[in-house]
Amino acid sequence: MRYSLQQLSAFLHLARTGSFSEAAKLHDVSQPALSRAIQQLEEAVGRRLFDRSTRRVELTPTGRELRPVAERLVAEFDGAFGELARFVEGRRGRVVVAALPSVAAALLPHAIARFQAAHPDVDFVIHDALSEGVIEAVAQGGADLGVTVRPPPERRLSYRQLVADRFGLVCRPDDPLADAGQGAVPWSVFRTRPFVAMAKASSVRAMTDAAFLQAGLAVAPLYECAFLGTTGHLVAAGLGITALPRLTLPLIGAAGLVWRPLVRPSLDRSIGVLTRVGHAPSPAAERFLAVLLDEAQDQDAREQKRLSILLQTPSSA
């Protein structure tokens, strides 16, 4: 038995109206076209579906049996394509984001909350990883988006900056360096103070080493930490000071520590979003990317305003 959705839809319109002319209007076809659709469906079923008179068109017993079946099939089809439409519009689906832990903690929650307020049926999966893991996840298709530091040029990936994450000194609130009235702090303060460093494999360590080289400083780290929480607690215990980008502060695990911008040199790490070249993201991922860009711009504007206030005071020597 072969039939089409158009034939079933025409059948239901005629069953509901009892009029070929009215059914043709609902079906948006000519009356002869509707009659052909009904005739073809009757031939497929092998029985008449309607008793026709000059006044009324009524269902036959076979037609009455077919009606709930047709209603279910058309409803399932409409429902399935309704779900597809919601997916295409970005109102349903799943977004997988691979991100540096600092970004996952500081930037993504606000962006996701903002997005899901308008798209509550979109699910999120977040994989936090170091930069190399983020790059690999996006390149291999394991994540729709990656948020990380700017990677080396990569033909498979496109990079778009979200924020410039400023490096600053992190110290205890009772440390003389915590006085915000002194403005920014030069990197030279690490010349005479114990330096709590991140592990050599981290992007933060690579940038602090570059800053020391640019400032002409030979700084030997007394500690090398793989986790930001360890770094924060070592500083909180008075075992040294450190230099961290501002977005890492929610992860240092020690309350009350003070962050002040570092200068001479000023150092920012570029945080941006990675996508795969030549691979269209899902509609939900595409819509979330737009929200993420807006949220990043808002946060960056607030951060730049705070930094401008901190940098107004001449830096201490």
Spatial separation of the C-alpha atoms in residues 13 and 28, rounded to whole Å: 11
What pLDDT, in 10s, does the model give residues 247-287? 888 888 777 899 999 999 999 999 999 999 988 788 888 88
End-to-end Cα, the chain, rounded Å? 89
138, 276 in Cβ contact below 8 A? yes
Sequence ranges of the domains in the chain? 5-88, 92-317
Would you state the pLDDT for residue 173?
92
245, 102 in Cβ contact below 8 A? yes
- Is residue 193 exposed (0-12), middle (13-18) or buried (19+ Cβ within 10 Å)? middle
Spatial separation of the C-alpha atoms in residues 32 and 27, rounded to whole Å: 12
Distance of CA 45 to the CA centre of its chain: 50
Would you state the pLDDT for residue 316?
45
**What's the mean per-residue pLDDT of the chain?**
86
187, 264 in Cβ contact below 8 A? yes
Among residues 136, 128, 125, the alpha carbon closest in space to that of 93 is found at 125
Would you state the pLDDT for residue 256?
87
Spatial separation of the C-alpha atoms in residues 125 and 164, rounded to whole Å: 25
Name the 3-class secondary structure at 19.
coil
Which sign does the torsion angle of CA 262, 148, 220, 193 carry?
positive
pLDDT band for position 315 (cuts 50, 70, 90): very low
pTM: 0.66
* β-bridge mates for residue 50, sequence order: 59
Segment 166-182 mean pLDDT: 88
Token code pair at residue 313: 């005071």
| Amino acid making up residue 259 | W
Element spanning 272, H or E: strand 268-276
Spatial separation of the C-alpha atoms in residues 235 and 171, rounded to whole Å: 6
70, 12 in Cβ contact below 8 A? yes
Q: Does domain 5-88 have CATH number 1.10.10.10?
A: yes
Is residue 112's pLDDT more than 60? yes
Spatial separation of the C-alpha atoms in residues 271 and 245, rounded to whole Å: 11
Segment 16-22 mean pLDDT: 88
3-state secondary structure labels for all residues of 99-155: ECHHHHHHCHHHHHHHHHCCCCCEEEEEEECCHHHHHHHHHCCCCCEEEEECCCCCC
Spatial separation of the C-alpha atoms in residues 271 and 147, rounded to whole Å: 7
Q: Which residue has the higher pLDDT, 154 or 205?
A: 205
Segment 205-212 mean pLDDT: 93
* CATH annotation of 92-317: 3.40.190.290
Would you state the pLDDT for residue 89?
58
* β-bridge mates for residue 275, sequence order: 158
Among residues 271, 282, 270, the alpha carbon closest in space to that of 141 is found at 282
